[in-house]
Structure 1
Amino acid sequence: MTDTADGSYVSARRATRLSTLLPILLVATYFTASFILRLLRGGDLASDEAQQVAFSHALQLGYGDQPPLYNWLFYCFGKVFGVSVDTLAFLKNATLLVSCIFLGLAARKVARGRDTAWISVLGLLSLPAIFLLSQRDLTHSVGAFAAVAFFLYVLARMAERPSVGNYALLGAAAGMGFLAKYNFAIIPVATVIALLLEPGLRRLVLTWRLAVTIAVGLVVAGPHVYWVVSHLDTATGDTLTKMRAATSNEAPSQLRAAWQLLASIVKCSALTLAVFAVVYRGHIRTIFAATSEWTRVIGRMLVISMILVFVIMLAVDATLMRPKWISIFFVAFPLYLAFKVDAAGVHVPGAIGKLTVLVGALIFVFLGVVFAASFH
């Protein structure tokens, strides 16, 4: 090997190490900083945090209009570490970190490439629900983000090795997702439809093992489902009231619902898409023209989920949709973008470094904004 070849090889190795080290450093620094700044903000609790503290003294099947998984997690952490702002902040940031880990693992299961995994993780951090809403006052949705990421990882794992154990694990993931956020129930339905529409993956649905998934999911979520049926007004009343917000607009309710949903979709995805477009400018047409089994499956899951959300809005006569209510579905959006890049075979030198810098600047600026706003 010539000196020139040796130098090129060493440079390539260094670039690879750097593209791995930078995102790891960003993720570790960001969640550490988020934890510390929440402690510095003091003991004034936001509404969701106050609810966690209020419900932390007893372990129950249900607590109100939100499912209980995050309450159970905080109850356990509170018993071990005490009920405090420290525990609230640690659990939230640890849960968000878990979301990043499982989404990256899902990408690695399908594409195997480090770049694909980091695109999905950095893309997740660029979602407004993660870097802004979560730092303000989300709790149950934070648990749901982790549940969606875990579900996607298990789905990819099951596709690779469709064993009874993996089908059972998918059922457990689906059950936990429902216990994290009620609208998670849409995701398994969208997944089944998306897989049935993909000939190469249809076999994952058309098998007796799916009964194992359903059975395990019912076992995990069943006790709380019984509680919901027994306390239906408590579990759903407040949410439906918010979605049926009064409005002076004389437009048909169906049109208002469609507009609200479309606006929320844009708010959930536009910033991530813009960051992605900056890094991969010049290759956008190639990337979005590329397709694979998994780009089609994830893309269909997103579209079907939004269609089902719209159908539910029409069914309950909802005229309001806030971005945070559909934010859990967009955990899959960075994974979709990562699979698109992988399918296109596009290799932009330094892309992960650029993505890390852009996302890092974005999330730390808004972390500072949230911190400063807490004193006003």
Structure 2
Amino acid sequence: MTDTTSGSYVSPRRSTRLNALLPVLLLATYFTASFVLRLLRGGDLASDEAQQVALSHALQFGYGDQPPLYNWVFYCFAKVFGVSVDTLAFVKNATLLMSCLFLGLAARKVVGERDTAWISILGFLSLPAVFLLSQRDLTHSIGAFAVVALFLYVLTLVAERPSAGNYALLGAAAGLGFLAKYNFAIIPVATVVALLLEPSLRRLVLNWRLTVTIAVGLAVVGPHVYWAVTHLDAATGDTVTKMRAASSHGMPLQLIAALELVESILKCCALTIAVLAVVYRGHLRTIFAASSEWTRVIGWTLVISMFLVFVIMLAVDATMMRPKWISIFFVAFPLYLACKVDAAGVHIPGAISRLTVLVGAMIFISLGVVFAGSFH
């Protein structure tokens, strides 16, 4: 490769290394900027942050209508670094970074090209719940993002090496997911069904070691479940009440629920699809027509999860669904897209660099808007 302006030669290998450094630079810059800007915003706490501070005085099996994992993590860091905005910002950004790490590791297990694996991380950053809602006021959902990414990574480990140890790790990840967000319980159920639908991976479910997964998962969640049963008043929140928001429409409740869910799904994933479409324009038909065992497993997991969410909505007569309530399910969506691109065999020179620039511009603009809005 020759630079026509200077006459110098840039080797393809060096160009590849430079392109590979761009996403790393984006991650480092973005999370550093997120941390610094949160400190500059000062000590005015959002509602979720205020809850973390208020509950950081003791380590308990349960605290209220939200599961305790994120509270436990913040408690540990607060004991070392003190209860402060610094600690709040560090825990939040470190947890989001861990989500990126585990998604990247999962992608490397199931995607052939290293560059293509970056789609899972960059796609995660393009989710509105990540670059927008998390910068405003999310805590428990952020913890759930990391555990969903961990669960996906361990699932790929189990597929690669179905040992008792990996099955135990899968159970631990599933248990931690429930302790991060109660609706995470849908994901392991949907995953089991999706694996049973895939002949090449069905063996992972029809394996005695799955009992190890169940046993470890129950052991992890057991103490908190006991607390919840013995503190029903504290553990029962108003989420169902919010989901039953009164509707002035003359439509059947089932139709309202379906429309609400579809709208939330689109809000969760439409922007990520749009970003990918810009970078891979001209190849979209090939990408979305491509299929592999992992596109099918992840795709079916997402579909079954949304079906179960809809069933729950019908069961409680819900007429409202906010995107943030189902955002944890879409942590898997960028990994699904990475597997789709890999299955299609589409390799466009500089695609990941363009995706990095596009996602970077979007998330930094959003970060600036959130920062500016905090002073009004």
Please state which band the TM-score falls in when normalised by the shorter chain. over 0.9
* 1:348 positional shift: 0.8
1:185 corresponds in structure 2 to 185
- The equivalent of 1:248 in structure 2 is 248
Counterpart for residue 304 of structure 2:
304
Q: 2:331 — aligned with what? A: 331
Structure 2 distance, partners of 1:186, 1:269, is 19
In structure 2, distance between residues paired with 1:242 and 1:235: 16
User: In the alignment, what sits opposite 1:208?
Assistant: 208
Q: How far 1:226 sits from its partner (Å)?
A: 1.3
1:44 pairs with 2:44: yes
Matched with 2:258 is 258
1:348 aligns with 2:348: yes
Cα separation, 1, equivalents of 2:30 and 2:120 = 16
Alignment of 1:13-162 (within 5 A): 13-162=13-162
Are the aligned partners of 2:112 and 2:342 in contact in 1 as well (CA < 8 Å)?
Answer: no
Is the aligned partner of 1:274 residue 2:281?
A: no
Q: What amino acid is the match of 2:245?
A: A
Please give the alpha-carbon distance, in whole angstroms, between the structure 2 residues aligned to 1:346 and 1:113.
Answer: 10
- 3-state DSSP class of the match of 1:248? coil
Q: Which runs of 4+ in 1 moved over 4 A?
A: none
Which residue of the partner structure matches residue 288 of structure 1? 288
- C-alpha offsets along residues 263-309 of structure 1, whole Å, 9 cap, x if unaligned? 00000000000000000000000001110000000000000000000
Unaligned runs of 5+ in 2: 1-6
**Paired amino acid for 1:152:** L
Q: Aligned pair 1:373/2:373, yes or no? A: yes
Shift of 1:351: 0.2
**In structure 1, C-alpha distance between the alignment counterparts of 2:299 and 2:260, rounded to whole Å:** 21
User: Please, what TM-score do these two structures have when normalized by structure 2?
Assistant: 0.97
The residue aligned with 1:167 is 167
Give the partner amino acid of 2:353.
G
Give the letter aligned to residue 242 of structure 1.
Answer: K
Aligned equivalents of 1:116, 1:152: Cα separation in 2: 17
Count residues in correspondence.
370
One-letter amino acid of the counterpart of residue 348, structure 2 = V
Secondary structure, in 3 states, of the residue corresponding to 1:375?
coil
Alignment RMSD: 1.3
Give, in angstroms, the shift of residue 240 of structure 1: 1.0
Unaligned runs of 5+ in 1: 1-6
- State the distance in 1 between where 2:198 and 2:233 align: 39
Supply the distance in 2 between the matched residues of 1:266 and 1:233 (Cα, whole angstroms). Answer: 35
Cα separation, 2, equivalents of 1:11 and 1:187 = 45
Q: Tell me the SS of whatever aligns to 2:319.
A: coil
Which residue is equivalent to 2:4? Answer: none
Secondary structure of the residue that 2:64 maps to in structure 1? coil
What residue identity is the alignment partner of 2:285?
R
- TM score, norm. by length of structure 1: 0.97
SS of 1:237 mapped into structure 2:
coil
Structure 1 residue 10: deviation in Å? 5.6
**Partner of residue 198, structure 1:** 198
- Cα distance, 1:250 vs structure 2: 2.2
